[in-house]
Amino acid sequence: DFWTALVKSRSAVGLVNLAGDSGEARQLAAPVPPFNIRSYVPDRKMLRIMSRTAQFGIAAARMAVTDSGEANVHASRKGAFIGTGQALCPGEFLFDAVRASRDDRGEISTRLLGSHGLSLIPPLSMMLAVPNGGLFATSVLHSISGTNTNFLSSGEAALAAIGEAYW
């Protein structure tokens, strides 16, 4: 599908409506159709601490390894070079804590955050913000114990990872 679309100059990127009722398109995006991450990551515990973006990277890595016809190579001779953007904790895990931490003026109070807000943040939610999650899971799933490098940046991180892997 990808190759056919590429040859025909057809793109999945288009305008999306993020403006609510106004109907005005605000952003360019390429929606990802639902996929079953469990076919790529069978370990339920690992999935609990994995962001959606890490899931995409892990699925892509699995497809790349499968397409490469991975040879029977010792784990210490295999490496992973991954590019990732800055990870953020999903907001839905923080909303209740923020509401509980506001003072009478509506401002965030560090005292209220400590006494009321922190206990409302699920502990595993912070793991979703760890940018090395995709690298960790890829290394574990493919028995990689050689060089593992995570390029943390924005748009050019993936290109840097490809360049370093090639070099």
pLDDT in tens, 49-105: 787 778 888 888 888 888 887 667 788 888 888 877 766 677 778 888 999 999 999
Question: Do 79 and 73 meet the contact criterion of CB atoms below 8 Å apart?
Answer: no
Higher pLDDT, 162 or 8: 8
* Cα(123)–Cα(161) distance, integer angstroms: 30
The pLDDT-based confidence of 26 (bands split at 50, 70, 90) is low
Q: Helix (H, G, I), strand (E, B), or coil: what is residue 72?
A: coil
Structure confidence at residue 17 (pLDDT): 61
Q: 109 CB contacts (<8 Å, ≥6 apart)?
A: 101, 102, 103
Determine what percent of the chain is predicted with pLDDT higher than 90. 11
Sign of CA dihedral 50, 53, 56, 57: negative
Q: Return phi, psi of residue 16, to 5°.
A: -125, 150
Which residue blocks in the chain are alpha helix, DSSP H?
A: 2-7, 44-48, 52-68, 95-100, 110-112, 133-141, 157-166
The pLDDT-based confidence of 141 (bands split at 50, 70, 90) is confident
Which of the listed ranges 16-20, 122-126, 154-158 does the model predict with the highest average pLDDT?
122-126
